[in-house]
Amino acid sequence: MELIEKLNATFIVDGRWQWFLSGLGYTLLISFFAVLLGLAIGVVMALGRLSKSKILRTVSGIYIDIIRGTPTMVQLLIIYYIIFAQVPIAKWIVGVIAFGINSGAYIAEIVRGGILSVNIGQTEAGRSLGMTHAQTMRSIILPQAAKNILPALGNEFVVLIKETAVIGMVSNIDLVGAARKVQSLTYDFAVPLISVGVIYYVVIKIISIMLAKLEERMRKSDKR
């Protein structure tokens, strides 16, 4: 009976389930747009790392090294409390920017590995047809690399969903934030946190199953 009362206080009283629903929405929203931003940054940085220009290789390498070498939470706090301290911007957008920049460093290495996995003969074939390096990369290499990097990108999205929990350090808009609001009213720390853990697990499990099915379909298409 005590557990039922705690669940009632966590979700039912005053419609608190809506806080968790809203938190889940913001968690997925931030994760989705952060992955898109990270993909854009990652592709640029991966091409920079593979560039013949020493300056581009150096800049890309420094960015990747710094982002991968510092905690996500520290990056979020710097972006929120220093870079955007005086800027009137929605907190979820700050989250997208922070996690997008963070994700970009990891996606850059994923994309770079995908490009390097394409047989060098494909590049030579493109050049023999009179295509420039940029045209060869855009029309031949990147489309083939996309198949190799898609599963890893899916895993990055799953990881990002879990990492967005640290946005609770600057705002209570996500799932962890919903739990914190409930805790401040009920003084019960166990049930809200365990509930959030279950919600994360279910969502990530569903996404993982969907990604596995997508990867399976891609493998089948390769066998044809």
Q: What is the pLDDT of residues 136-193, one digit of tens each?
A: 777 777 777 777 788 888 888 898 998 888 887 788 888 888 888 888 888 888 889 9
> Tokens 């206080």, residue?
9
Q: Region 87-99: what's the mean pLDDT?
A: 90
Show the domain range for 84: 2-223
Q: What is the pLDDT of residues 103-132, one digit of tens each?
A: 999 999 999 888 887 777 776 677 677 777
Is the model's pLDDT at 224 over the cut of 60?
A: no
Token pair recorded at residue 82:
């220093």
Contacts of 201 (CB under 8 A, 6+ apart): none
* Residue 75, CA atoms < 13 Å, CB-side half-sphere: 22
Q: Can you give the pLDDT at residue 8?
A: 81
Token pair recorded at residue 210:
């969907």
The count of structural domains within the chain is: 1
Token pair recorded at residue 52:
């013949």
Q: What is the pLDDT of residues 178-206, one digit of tens each?
A: 888 888 888 888 889 999 999 999 999 99
| CATH code (residue 104) | 1.10.3720.10
Calculate the CA 23 to chain-centre distance: 17
Q: Can you give the pLDDT at residue 214?
A: 80
Amino acid at 128: S
